[in-house]
Structure 1
Amino acid sequence: MTRKTYPDLPNWTFEIDEVSAGVYEVVARDHIGHEVSEKGIDVAAIIELCRQRAAKLVN
């Protein structure tokens, strides 16, 4: 599992895990308990989707 943070979402932690061969799950959580997640084969696309969803919760 890899953990990442992004400057535009400072209170969020993104966990990226390969759950099956070539299938990734991204789970993002903030410091107050919000969570967004997605699974798929294009890890960059699902990270971006989770970032967009997290940003909507912030605004």
Structure 2
Amino acid sequence: VEMIPNAIAIAELAVEKQAKVLLMPVSARRALNDLPDDLWTKISIEFYKDPEDAVFKGLEE
């Protein structure tokens, strides 16, 4: 799983587009530490470890 270059911008865009859940690779976890607190309350972030896990979690919703 490759690192996402700007995870915070993706999370901000997801909130702007009124997404309820955002699926991100676990490698983006540290980058999201700088996500503002108000955004954490507006979206649920699910992390995946590999492409198979991402598909499973995407279909689970």
Structure 2 length-normalised TM: 0.31
Structure (1/2) with the larger strand percentage? 1
Richer in helix (by share): 2
TM-score (norm. length: structure 1) = 0.32
The higher-RCO structure (CA 8 Å, 6+ apart) is 2
